[in-house]
Amino acid sequence: MRNLYIDFDGVILDTINTTYKMLAELGIDHKDEEKTKEFYASLDWKKVLEETPIINDGINCIHKILESNKFNVAILTHVNSLDEAVQKVKYIRKYLEDITVIPVPKAISKTKMVRSKDAILIDDYSGNLREWESEGGIGVRFSLKLNGKGFRVIDKLDQILDMDYETVK
């Protein structure tokens, strides 16, 4: 079975929108790295996760992917603080009892936490996908606008079940 890693922010939950709105309310430009880093490090993630909608039926799609037995599925998510890791694991456990969750410290590449060779990563951030493919993995961009930025692209997680990778690599 092929390993399939699924990003969390911007793929399962629309936390990017929630946190960008909060940044705007605080008058912080998200391009200001220092202030943005501080903001994310001190964020109340429990509250953020409670307030943020699921993207395109993502949780049900993951159930469907698990039931297909086509992949070893894990959630691979960057975190800025321990609280973020704790709250994300708690959140995911409410919906998915039997899935591996791997929090990755923001300063470390996802490719350094798991073996990317021949594994699939679904991520909305093309920088992560570029790193993933440079380490021999298969990148799939999640984009509601279906903008692949050079990668295979999906806008709903269960579309991964209809993709044919063997012919691609």
Q: Does 10 bind Mg ion (CB under 5 A)?
A: yes
The closest alpha carbon to 130, from 145, 147, 116, 144, belongs to: 116
Q: Which is nearer to Mg ion, 9 or 14 (CB)?
A: 9
Q: Which is nearer to Mg ion, 27 or 133 (CB)?
A: 133
Q: How far is the CB of 11 from Mg ion (least distance, A)?
A: 6
Q: Per-residue b/e over 142-160, b at no fewer than 16 CB within 10 Å?
A: bbeeeebeebbbbeebbbb
* Residue 89: partners with Cβ closer than 8 Å, 6 or more residues away: 101, 103
Q: How far is the CB of 83 from Mg ion (least distance, A)?
A: 18
Q: How far is the CB of 16 from Mg ion (least distance, A)?
A: 7
Candidate list 4, 7, 73, 103; residue touching Mg ion; CB under 5 A: 7
Stretch that binds Mg ion, among 45-53, 65-73, 125-133, 148-156 (CB under 5 A): 125-133
DSSP 20-68: HHHHHHTT--TT-HHHHHHHHHT--HHHHHHHSPBSTTHHHHHHHHHHH
Q: Does 9 bind Mg ion (CB under 5 A)?
A: yes
- Which residues in 95-124 contact Mg ion (CB under 5 A)? 124
- Cβ-based burial of 135 (10 A; exposed 0-12, middle 13-18, buried ≥19): middle
Q: Which is nearer to Mg ion, 71 or 125 (CB)?
A: 125
Q: Which is nearer to Mg ion, 10 or 148 (CB)?
A: 10
Positions in the binding site for Mg ion (CB under 5 A): 7, 9-10, 124-125
